[in-house]
Structures are given as C-alpha cells and as structure tokens.
Chains A and B, each alone.
Chain A
Amino acid sequence: MSYVFYPGCSLEGTARDFHLSTLAVAKGMGLALPEIPDWICCGSTAAHSSDPVLALALPAQNLQSAARMKTADGVPTVAVACAACYSRLKVANHHIAREPKTRQKVAQALGSDYDGSVPVKHLLEILGRDLGPAKIAAQIRRPLKGLKVVCYYGCLLSRPPEITNFDNAENPRLMDDVMEAAGATVLDWPHKTECCGASFSITDVTIVQQLTREILSMARAVGADCIVTACPLCQLNLDMRQKEVEERYNEKYGLPVFYFSQLLGLAMGLSGQELSLRSLVVDPQPLLQSKGIAVTELSRTSNEAES
C-alpha cells in the first residue's frame, strides 16, 4: 500500500513538532510519505459552521489532488496526522460517496466530479494496524520503560464512528497499542475521548480552560507521568494553556504533553532535535531524565548551536 501525506495547516505552524516527528518516525519505520504538493486547508470548523458545500469541497479538492498521485499500486491512501483534518476528509468522503445530490453540488464547486473513494487514514491507523505492534516493536532501541502515560484521543478521531471508522468510539485502543509497543506503561483512564474545547482556543478561552482542567486533573488522578496526544489542537490546549489553567483553578499538574510521534520517536532512538521536543511548553526533560531516557539534544546550548 502506498501513502501520500496531507499535513494540514497546524503542522506548518503551532504543530511544527508534530510534523517533524511524524516524518522522522515514518522514515525510521521505512514508510514513504510524499506530501500532496498543492494541498489546501480542509476548512475545519469555520467551514462546516458557515457553508455546507464549501465544507465538503475544500477537503474534496485535496482528495482529488491525492488521486492524481496514482502510481502502479493504484490510488494512494491519504495519511493524515491532524485529527481535525482527518475528520473533515472522512466526512467529505462519507457524504459524497453516499449522497448523489451532495456529490453533484461539490462537483459544481470544484469544477469536476469527485466520487468520494480516495482512502484516508490517520497515522495511528497506519502504525497500529497497517504496520502493527510487532513491526513497531522491532524498531524500538530505547524502550520507554517505567514511563506511565495516558493516551488522549480527543473528539475527532473516533467520532462519529460511522464516519471515521477509526476504533471503538468510547474506548479506542490504537494509540495505547502503539505506546505499549514503544515500551511505555499505558494507564487506563476515563477521559480518552473527552473534548478539550479546541475550536474555542481563540474565541472563548474560558470554555477551553474548563474542559482542559477536567482532562489534566483526571490524568493526574490516575497517576500519569505525562499525556500523549494525536491532535494539534488538543496538544496546544493541554500543553500551552496548562499554566493558565493551574493559575485559574489554583492546582498543579506539571504534566508534559507529547505527540505520540515524539514518544515513539524517542523509543526508536531518535534525538530530541529530530523530534523538536524544544517546542513543548511544559518541559519534558526532568521527567525523561528521571526515567533514564536521556535527551541531551534538547538543552539550551544545542538549541543555540543549531540556530
């Protein structure tokens, strides 16, 4: 099976570390992920709140671009890292493939017909299913021994299951499997798919603070050392807003918030620089050092040397 990569806008900005670590891990796993060259924004929540046709036409145009990258193996599978992009691409395929009227409206907007058939997968599906835990385990050089993690999937990977077909909607396991293959101790917890309020990150921070507090508190209550995420907006809210949530509610969490690609990359022996660990706001170094996972490349001096 061949893949083409749809990074999405967040991976070029706030989630640059997700981008770098995803590509580094894919390379280490021997996965080729050529980028769709002329990709555009999926439209995200702004589009589906504003215009039903635009909300499907934007992802559909990207899926058409992907279809043009057809090789001898056939139409490639679109690999996505951002949970929001993943959701929009899946939603577009779902409606266009099932509703002839919708397909026609989208074709009018695009100027050409798209049938909704280009397969879309999240990186976790590719790692956890297409490759599988055994192949991941074979690449592990520095197992994350003793690192207690909780996997936070957020909303849009598993919901609604009829559309994303990702995993169990209430208790997904894919990220747990990948982290276990990397040697981490994966804790069970009830907030795997709670909402962090991502779409209000700019418009109403009070919603975000209230929802992220519940997630951070629960992670701490079950004894996690850190949180693992698979969505740029979840990661940004839990990591960058952690300090202001601590201040607002007078609580202390001190929980580093990684992308699964960063922790997996560490386990594969990649450097802190290759995984852009410096982009994390809650400093992960004390935790990693206490678990004997040395990441010297993260230090300030090497950052300066690098820039």
Chain B
Amino acid sequence: MSASTPLQVAPRAKELSLQAQEAGANVLSCYQCRKCTSGCPVSGRADIKPHELVRLVQLGQRDAVLGCKAIWECTSCQTCITRCPQKVDIAALNDFLRQMSLASNKVAEGTAVPAFNDIFLGTVRRLGRMYEMGLMVAFKLRTRRFFADVGKFPMMLWKRKLSLLPSVGRDSAQRKQLFERTKSGGASR
C-alpha cells in the first residue's frame, strides 16, 4: 500500500466487514498486531499486506481490496489464522475477496489465478477428477505461456509423473448437478 493511500472510512463501510464476517472472517476483531504479516510467506512481495488488508476492509475500501494483487498471491497456507490472537480468518477473507473481485470484474492485471481456477474446475466438472496433462495444456493455451515448463514434459512422462490419459470418475450426471446447484453453476465452463 502506498504511503499516499487515504485511510478513510468509506460510505457504508461496515457493510463490507459484515459480508466478510458472513464468509467466516471476523475482521472487526482485528487490533493490528501484525502477527499475520510477520508470518506470511508472501507478505514481502505483497502490494497490500495481510494486516493492511483487514484494516482496509474495516474501513470499507472496496476498490482497494478487490483490485489488489495480494489477494491473488495468497498461498492459502493458513499461517495467519493459525497465529492470529483474535482468530481473524484472513485466509477465508482472501477467498471471499477473490470471489467478490471476480464477480465485480475488478481482478488485478497480470494474475493467471482466475484462468487456472476456471480450467481446474471445468476439468473437475467434466471428468470428476483432475487431469494434470490436460490442465497444463489448456492453461498454456488460455494464458499464451507456451514455453513455461515445457522442457519438463519429457522428464515428467519418463518419471511417470504425467498420465497421457485422464482418470475419470463415474456418475457424471450427479456431479454436473452438483455444479449446477452451487452458486457459480459453472456458467463460464
């Protein structure tokens, strides 16, 4: 967060905190001890650090938190929630903010995570199980990162780390229904 970011209370600020609370993160309990940021494996590179993210949510600064890179760089390692003296579930908060950022079209530029998640869940919807080879190829096509890690493919095949064919779960009708009935409904898939 740049030094010039105004730490102002946005209109209807509490609404965002209450939504976060509904999603499992009691942000209003935070007293800014920074234990989360101290233990966070990616806070060194984060544009908004975990304790700052919580503060901004308390202040209702929607655009700042939904458009930041940090929510897409969170590794979901659960160190923050494990060490938080107030049990503010920042990992759950990040899940909530990622969903909201996507839904409101505010995803920070340069992150490939939403594309990856979409392909991943699309594969699970179709096959029931992850198909790593297919996932990697689809991800490359979607993000145009054709050469990343391709040098590893022959070795991975030789080491039997990749299967050419997917493993398929049974009962695809039930699985598709499950996806239909959840919120996202697999709309983009």
Chain A residues near B (Cβ < 8 Å): 9-10, 12-17, 37-41, 43-55, 57-58, 61, 108-111, 155-156, 159-161, 169, 194-195, 197-200, 202-205, 207, 210-211, 236, 240, 276, 278-281
Contact = CB atoms under 8 A, between A and B. Distances in A.
For the side of the interface on B, what is the size category?
35 or more
B75 A200 contact: yes
B181 A109 contact: yes
Which of B41, B81, B111, B178 has the most C-beta atoms of chain A within 10 angstroms of its own C-beta?
Answer: B178
- Interface SS of chain A: helix
Nearest to A20: B160
Contact of A202 (B41, B116, B160): B116
Nearest to A87: B78
Contacts of B95: 48-49, 52, 55
A169 B82 contact: yes
B75 A197 contact: yes
B150 interface: no
Nearest to B184: A51
Given A50-B98, A54-B183, A240 B152 contact: yes
Contact of A197 (B41, B129, B149, B162): B41
Interface of B: 23, 41-42, 45, 73, 75-79, 81-82, 95-96, 98-99, 102, 111-113, 116-118, 120-121, 124, 128-133, 135-136, 139, 148-149, 152, 155-156, 159-163, 167, 169-171, 174-175, 177-179, 181-184
> Which of the listed residues A17, A45, A49, A204 has the most CB atoms from chain B within 10 Å of its own CB?
A49
26 contacts: A12-B129, A14-B132, A14-B162, A37-B170, A38-B169, A43-B121, A44-B130, A46-B117, A49-B76, A54-B121, A54-B179, A58-B124, A155-B75, A155-B76, A155-B79, A161-B82, A169-B82, A195-B77, A197-B42, A198-B75, A203-B112, A204-B112, A210-B45, A211-B41, A211-B75, A279-B161
